[in-house]
Amino acid sequence: MNSLFTHTGSSSFTEFLGAHAPNLLPTRAETLAAPVGDQIPHATTIVAATCAGGVVMAGDRRATSGNMISQRDMEKVFRADDYSCMGIAGTASTGIEVARLFRVELEHYEKTEGRSLSTEGKAHRLATMIRGNLAMAMQGLVVVPLFAAYDPAADSGRIFSYDVGGGPYEQHDFHSIGSGSIFARGALKKLYRPGASPQDTVLACLQSLYDAADDDSATGGPDVTRKIWPVVAVITADGFRRLPDEEVGEFVQSLLEARMTDPDGPTAPLR
């Protein structure tokens, strides 16, 4: 076996790839002559909220190219490892590549070091990858992820957001990114309950995505006719679990039934 692959000199797969096959990195793509702007599909709203013993992340399924819907069933929430995930907003193609590379990065570290990174280590490793995409971001290919993980040291969920320069910024209780994030975060301010069960937190996240879709044209609501539901992931001490479409569909159905009599959704008590 080639010693190049058995003695990499670094626990970072990104550094190894950059040294020996830089053309495979999304951040080393050929420089564009001009900003591509709205020509490339963009991913939109992602929400995350901590719950009892973990964290929930959910994302809508719509991708847009300018004023056009380019895809109705896009995946925006990705498993990073057994206890973490990331959601993407911004340039869809670059975001998907970063998500895949981040997953390999964590696997590579675990295999070379014999242990997994800490939650802070994962968050900072992702920040380094985002920072490497800054040149492309300046041309319009912006990727802004949301990272969520179960932290065994704290026995709780944690959420990290980023800017185009990397970040990271730890968020408490809940956060959202993407074009509909303002509306989703406003909904979560009223619906979020600290220490709520994962099921109640999933419903709160779905309500916030519905509110985002109600006010932001780039955010897709539940597509009942095509049975396209938001992607929902729950991470606890038992590990990462993506909810099957049938289970998400049941949550959405109860949400829609309630919205038939109260279109603006549930209200929070003043006292």
pLDDT in tens, 224-260: 999 999 999 999 999 999 999 999 999 999 999 999 9
Active site residues: 44
Q: How many CA atoms lie within 13 A of 225 on its CB side?
A: 1
pLDDT of residue 5: 54
pLDDT tens digits, 117-127:
999 999 999 99
pLDDT of residue 39: 66
Reduced to 3 states (helix: H, G, I; strand: E, B; else coil), residue 10 is coil
Q: In angstroms, what CA-CA distances link 27 with 18, 22, 106, 230?
A: 10, 9, 18, 28
**Residues 194, 271 contacting (CB under 8 angstroms):** no
pLDDT band at 29 (very low <50, low <70, confident <90, very high): very low
The whole-model pTM stands at: 0.84
